[in-house]
Amino acid sequence: MAETSKASVGTAELGFLLDPTVEQLVLALLSRIDVHFFVEAVLVIVIGYLLFQKRYKPLQGTEGLTEGEIDELCEQWTPDPLVTKEAMESVVKRSERVVTSHQGCRVIINGKESINFASFDFLNMLNEESIKDECEQTIRKYGVGSCGPRGFYGTIDVHLDLERELADFYGAEGGIIYSYDAATASSIIPAFLKRGDLVIRDEAISYSLQAGIDLSRAYVKEFRHNDMADLESILEIVKQADAKNQKPLNRRFIVVEGLYQNTGMICPLQEVVELAKQYKFRVLLDESMALGTLGETGKGSLEHWGIPASDITIRCGSMSNSLASIGGFAVADGPIIAHQRLSSTGYVFSASLPPFNATAAIAALRIIRQDKERISKLRENSTLAHEVLRDMTLNLDKNACDTLWLMGDEISPVKHLHLQQGKGTRQADDETLQKICDVVLDEFNVSLVVADYSPLQKIAPRPSIRITINSAQTREDIEKCAAAIGEAARKVFARAA
Amino acid sequence: RKSPKPDGHELELETEHTVPWIAALTTYFSYAILMVFGTLRDAVFNVMCVVDPGRYRSPTPKGFAKLMNDFQDFYTRRLYHRIQDCFNRPISSAPGAWIDVIEREFANAEMSTMRHTGSHVTALNLSSYNYLGFAESDLEMRDEVVSSMRRLGVGNASSRTELGTTDVHHELEARVARFLGKEAAIVFGMGFATNSTVLPTLVGSGGLIISDELNHSSIVTGARSSNARIKVFKHNCAKSLEEILRSSIAEGQPRTKLPWKKILVVVEGLYSMEGEVCDLKNIVQVCKKYKAYVYVDEAHSIGALGATGRGVLEYCGVEPVDVDVMMGTFTKSFGSVGGYIASTKEVIDYIRRMSPGSIYACSMSPGCVTQASLALRMIAGEDGTDKGKKKLDQLRRNSNLFRAGLQRMGCEVLGHTDSPVIPVMLYNPAKIPAFSRECLARKLAVVVVGFPATPLIKSRVRFCLSAAHTEEDLISALKVIDEVAERVMIKYKWTGRPNVAPSAVVQRLSQEYFVDVVGEWDATH
């Protein structure tokens, strides 16, 4: 400061600084005022204003409310009951059937024996005495429960055996088992997919897959059931969007089922795999229904379509259908399985599968490998059922108030009978179909179910009677079933009219 | 803080658990070293991928995003794999008091896989949730389990609402409802799925779920599957819950400001990673005041707490009517698998027709249903014996004896008296495998837990007691742990002489028993 002063003002003039008077000071100051001073002063004022102005803030939370007011609000708040009347009325009613004996293709319901066309035991494993014998041995050795998750001494040697067997059966690098079918896909998907990832799924996939996708918080897009053109158009849109905005790669999956439980249709997997390769998507395939039912030797969709295992990233499924045990599984490459063992919630945070259920699954897998007859018999039965059921639906009176139509692939052991017209509401259609099932059970001793869907499922298929075929059913059983449905439908439709 | 309880037990609610600064410092330092070396090794690997692509190749094909999250992958390869022998240890016996642990060794230099050596170690099991010992006791039960399995099948190949409901399912449901003092109950084949498929049916959009911050993953999954809003309150803190309830009700739903349709407060009876009993009395009081519904997950507390095994409600002196939804599992105290929900008939009927666990999932295996049913019959004393009562008493004695022993030797023990789960702090990552391996070498199978199941620096070892343990088992285990704790230096609370057991512990044990048993242990020191 002193230096600049020296430069501009003479030293003598500054003499007054040693003993200044107010006047001198003010004069000296005024003499130095120029445009700069004004600009700086304005800036200082603006900054000060910006710093000290009272910021506008919208009232957040309970700010601005006094304790008394909060008390009052709490007092006034009345919650809905845990289950509201409307919610209770919105669910589809069902009468519960109590089974007192389960023997594969025969079942005793409410004390009466009937032919079973309702459970997913396609290969008649529930009736297999050798499996029960092995299970008994396991129960005697290991007890019932495993008393802990896999990580904490809940891994029992039979679990490892089953995982090896599954991997071997499917020709995969590794296998992992889950203790419940409902927690399998819904744990696997969130283990790999996160927010920002992309899933393209068939609209007919089962709830567990849907729940998994929802939990993962990934973007999701549905394509029309088994409609490859629709799938391709969606993939094309994604590709175009990619070209437009250059973003880092996200994980992408196409999620399909080998054989759809909800429709009985087989997925055109070959095309799905081709599209996935072309558009760089991974494929997650649910084999719950396809295991033991598709392919020459029951090895599922890949065998059916002749696709190499490397084309599918993850295969998962349920062990409670063809294997007639409990639990779920996944097979994939080693690192993918290892990742699930640390990150899949249903695996890490749940007690492991009871050892005897694992034994049952191992035994069932062995039977599938050894007894090729069962699979060919199942195929034969499925085709026959398709034929007789289709004929039955064609022979229904076209003038009655409604008719049935058959859905499902010819060789699929799962078939659905839908109402042609329906009454418009889910509840009413469900009731009509249930009436048919009741008549079939009461008068013809054939047990069938109306496929049940939870209201939590966002996209649920139309109500239908689901017919599941078992390898042990005879030609007479199947013909009887078709005839019974025809007869019952006639009665119910006549009554309704 | 102490919560007043006229009829129940008094919980000593700890103020926040603090980590000793030296432990915190060394723990962070250890992780830093692990990270640095891991990163270095990764860098070398990446160079090798370029130099020698035939031998080292990147696992992700071109044009695809990595399937695994980078950090998670790093953590697994560079931290977890080095100590993976302490987890997922396979056994070749029933998970009773003594188990046969299959020996393993690392199969490759990267330590990424393990193989069995072909032999096994018989070790004392301080890790299975076999609270009442049903995993290996009462072998006559197995006859009935087998006959039920033979009559009704190994599985059902059908869901509950289709063709998977059998007479034994109904019997178990009636028994659960009776035992808990509720109108009705429903059972599911898996405990995890019970929470994850029932919570979304109870609360939907416009609803609010307020969950304890340490709630189990199944509750988190269930809450996330519902369309409800989720808020979290401070662990086991009724005051924090009250604050959140007050502000939530006053605020209403975000943006629309509409009042909430309903609020569900979800807590656990016994927190299995902390060994802490829920402060249910106060939480229920708060919920009642603010008209929130209460959902109690009794996975670990049912059959383990309370004089007659009726769980945390009995333990804390809360009436069943005051808890709207009671959930529990059959995996732990009952030696089976599966879960239940007990509530009013209306709610249960609704869950039956709504929950994916009831509509889609294969129904609970009949053999498991029978096991749960028989165990429950014994606990409730409906079999006409006092075996169940004796088991409960034994469990409590064992738990308190063990807890007192650990406290006396200066370990940092978490949780409450009477809890059969007893966590002890380890802190440093290196102490996780050290403790576990040293114990197994001395024929003690223990569970060690680290990140991500616990906060990074709060690694711990967790002991689960069982009625099947004998006093001799536990005394010898305490001796072993004393030795190991000394070696791995986890006696953070050591004061130079045996710490005096809390008087509450002494009171609750029969006096002579405690003096006898712990006296003997003391005498050897």
pLDDT digits (tens, 9 = 90+) for A269-316: 999 999 999 999 999 999 999 999 999 999 999 999 999 999 999 999
3-state SS assignment for residue B398: helix
CB-CB neighbours of B406 under 10 Å: 25
User: Please, are residues B133 and B467 in contact by the beta-carbon 8 Å criterion?
Assistant: yes
3-state SS assignment for residue A478: helix
Rounded to an integer, the average pLDDT of A466-484 is 92
Predicted confidence at residue B500, as pLDDT, reads: 56
Q: Give me chain A's average pLDDT, please.
A: 88
pLDDT at A5 over 50: no
> With bands split at pLDDT 50, 70 and 90, how would you rate the model's confidence at B507?
very low
- Pick the residue from chain A with its C-alpha nearest to B363: A326
Question: Does A454 contact B291 at a Cβ distance shorter than 8 Å?
Answer: no
Query: Which of A347-361, B65-79, B469-483 has the least mean pLDDT?
Result: B65-79
Predicted confidence at residue A263, as pLDDT, reads: 93
Rounded to an integer, the average pLDDT of B75-93 is 89
Strands B421-427 and B114-125, bridge-based pairing: unpaired
Query: Which of A52-56, A442-446, B144-148, B167-171 has the least mean pLDDT?
Result: A52-56
Predicted confidence at residue B110, as pLDDT, reads: 77
Question: Does A70 contact B246 at a Cβ distance shorter than 8 Å?
Answer: yes
pLDDT at B506 over 50: no
The burial of A411, by beta-carbon neighbours within 10 Å (0-12 exposed, 13-18 middle, 19 or more buried), is given as middle
> With bands split at pLDDT 50, 70 and 90, how would you rate the model's confidence at B502?
very low
Chain B residues whose CB is inside 8 A of the A314 CB are none
CA distance B265 to B279: 13
Question: Does B191 contact A120 at a Cβ distance shorter than 8 Å?
Answer: no
Q: Which residues contact B321 (CB under 8 A, 6 or more apart)?
A: none
Q: Give the model confidence (pLDDT) of B300-351 as tens digits.
A: 999 999 889 999 999 999 999 999 999 999 999 999 999 999 999 999 999 9
Q: Residue B336 pairs with which residues in a beta bridge?
A: none
Q: Give the model confidence (pLDDT) of A259-270 as tens digits.
A: 999 999 999 999
Question: Does B217 contact A62 at a Cβ distance shorter than 8 Å?
Answer: no
In order of A162, B2, B282, B466, the CA distances from B9 in angstroms are 46, 11, 13, 21
Q: Going from the N-terminus, what domains does chain A have, and what CATH number goes with each?
A: 92-121+373-496 (3.90.1150.10), 128-370 (3.40.640.10)
Determine the distance in angstroms separating the CA of A133 from the nearest CA of chain B, rounded to an integer.
Answer: 9
Question: Does A83 contact B346 at a Cβ distance shorter than 8 Å?
Answer: yes
Query: Which of A469-473, B14-18, B153-157 has the least mean pLDDT?
Result: B14-18
Q: Is the peptide bond before B452 cis (omega within 30 degrees of 0)?
A: yes
CB-CB neighbours of B276 under 10 Å: 23
Mutation for A interface: B78, B86, B103, B154, most A CBs within 10 A: B154
DSSP states of A108-126: EETTEEEEE-SSS-TT-GG
Predicted confidence at residue B185, as pLDDT, reads: 95
Q: Give the model confidence (pLDDT) of A331-378 as tens digits.
A: 999 889 988 998 899 999 999 999 999 999 999 999 999 988 999 999
pLDDT at B433 over 80: yes
Q: What is the pTM of this model?
A: 0.88
What is residue B412's DSSP assignment?
-
CA distance B480 to B452: 28
Q: Give the model confidence (pLDDT) of B199-257 as tens digits.
A: 999 998 899 999 999 999 999 999 999 989 999 999 999 999 999 999 999 888 888 88
Question: Does A131 contact B88 at a Cβ distance shorter than 8 Å?
Answer: no
In chain B, positions 323-352, which contact chain A (CB-CB < 8 Å)?
324-325, 329-332, 334-337, 343, 346-347, 349-350
Highest mean pLDDT of the ranges A17-26, A237-246, B101-110, B286-295: B286-295
Chain B residues whose CB is inside 8 A of the A431 CB are none
Amino acid at A5: S
> With bands split at pLDDT 50, 70 and 90, how would you rate the model's confidence at B405?
confident
Question: Does B167 contact A87 at a Cβ distance shorter than 8 Å?
Answer: no
pLDDT at A85 over 50: yes
Whole-number percent of chain A with pLDDT over 70: 94
Predicted confidence at residue A90, as pLDDT, reads: 81
Rounded to an integer, the average pLDDT of B72-94 is 89
What is residue A329's DSSP assignment?
E
Predicted confidence at residue A153, as pLDDT, reads: 92
Tokens 């494993």: give the residue: A125
In chain B, positions 268-297, which contact chain A (CB-CB < 8 Å)?
289-293
> Would an 8 Å CB–CB cutoff place B459 in contact with chain A?
no
Q: Which residues contact A483 (CB under 8 A, 6 or more apart)?
A: A392, A444
CA distance B172 to B151: 16
Rounded to an integer, the average pLDDT of A381-409 is 88
Q: Give the model confidence (pLDDT) of A102-134 as tens digits.
A: 777 888 988 889 999 998 999 999 888 999 999
Chain A residues whose CB is inside 8 A of the B155 CB are 126, 319-320, 323-326, 357, 360
A vs B, Cβ pairs < 8 A, gives: 361
Whole-number percent of chain B with pLDDT over 70: 90
Chain B residues whose CB is inside 8 A of the A151 CB are 87-88, 447
Determine the distance in angstroms separating the CA of B292 from the nearest CA of chain A, rounded to an integer.
Answer: 8
Angle between helices B238-251 and B280-289 (to 10 degrees): 20
Nearest to B201 among A135, A147, A456 (CB): A456
- Pick the residue from chain A with its C-alpha nearest to B158: A119
What region does B412 belong to: left with phi over 0, alpha with psi -120 to 50, or beta?
beta
Amino acid at B94: A
CA distance A227 to B96: 53
Rounded to an integer, the average pLDDT of A236-264 is 90
Predicted confidence at residue B512, as pLDDT, reads: 40
Mutation for A interface: B64, B67, B349, most A CBs within 10 A: B67
> With bands split at pLDDT 50, 70 and 90, how would you rate the model's confidence at B3?
very low
Question: Does B447 contact A208 at a Cβ distance shorter than 8 Å?
Answer: no
User: Please, are residues A355 and A156 in contact by the beta-carbon 8 Å criterion?
Assistant: yes
Predicted confidence at residue B494, as pLDDT, reads: 80
Question: Does A144 contact B162 at a Cβ distance shorter than 8 Å?
Answer: no
Determine the distance in angstroms separating the CA of B112 from the nearest CA of chain A, rounded to an integer.
Answer: 9
Nearest to B414 by CA among B403, B399, B400, B405: B403
Q: Give the model confidence (pLDDT) of B191-200 as tens digits.
A: 999 999 999 9
Amino acid at B358: S
Predicted confidence at residue A16, as pLDDT, reads: 62
Distance of CA A352 to the CA centre of its chain: 21
> With bands split at pLDDT 50, 70 and 90, how would you rate the model's confidence at A234?
very high
> With bands split at pLDDT 50, 70 and 90, how would you rate the model's confidence at A468?
very high
Mutation for B interface: A124, A153, A242, A260, most B CBs within 10 A: A153
Q: Give me chain B's average pLDDT, please.
A: 87
Rounded to an integer, the average pLDDT of A21-41 is 81
Predicted confidence at residue B14, as pLDDT, reads: 57
Predicted confidence at residue A57, as pLDDT, reads: 63
